[in-house]
Amino acid sequence: MNINIPIAHVMTREVVSVTPSQKLLDVKHIFEKKKFHHHIPVEEKGKLKGIISLTDYLYSIKDASLDDDDEVYQMLLAKDIMRHNPVTMPSSSTLKEIAEELGKGKVHAIIIADDELVKGIVSTTDVIRYFLKN
């Protein structure tokens, strides 16, 4: 098995993202309706600004209902719950480098970005699936 392959062979290229000014309702809909990593990059004018994890989202809604009309979904914006300075690695990274970073246990997804431009995202699940296939 070649663990020195470019991360492009493992990462998800079609990334679902939001802007800092989008309402929490949009984040809610992504988590409910999209099949993806449970980490949403926050981008503005093509540049990475932060990341929202499913955990970040769940903490922000606390006792809210699932009803779209609940005020928390209208009041809060993506920038209110996003984590600034997410872990990123360049698209030139190898699977080994990504696995080493994920193996530290501090994050469960890494945004692949060059000069703050998002190229993809890779999660622990992606890495595990690769190892199981190969």
What is the structure's pLDDT at 1? Answer: 74
Q: Please tell me the predicted confidence (pLDDT) of residue 19.
A: 97
CB-based burial, 20-43: b 16+ in 10 Å, e otherwise: eebbbbbbbebbeeeeebbbbbbb
Residue 36 has a pLDDT of: 65
Domain containing 89 equals 7-133
CB 47 within 8 A of CB 117: yes
The 10s digit of each residue's pLDDT in 21-65 is: 999 999 999 999 877 667 999 999 889 999 999 999 999 999 899
Residue 73 lies in a domain: yes
Tell me the C-alpha distance between 122 and 22, whole Å.
Answer: 24
Alpha helices in the chain (DSSP H): 24-33, 54-61, 71-75, 78-81, 95-103, 124-133
Question: Could you tell me if residue 114 is inside a domain?
Answer: yes
3-state helix, strand, coil in the chain (%, to 5): 35, 25, 35
Distance CA 63, CA 51 (A): 22
Predicted TM-score of the model (pTM): 0.89
49: CATH: 3.10.580.10
Digit-coded pLDDT (tens) for 74-115: 999 999 999 999 999 999 999 999 999 999 999 999 999 999
**Which candidate, 121, 42, 39, places its Cα nearest to that of 79?**
42
In a domain, 50, yes or no: yes
| Domain contains 127 | yes
Task: Give me the number of domains the chain comprises.
Answer: 1
Q: Identify whether 85 is part of a domain.
A: yes
Structure tokens at 134: 């190969």
Residue with tokens 């990462």: 11
Answer whether residue 1 is part of any domain.
no
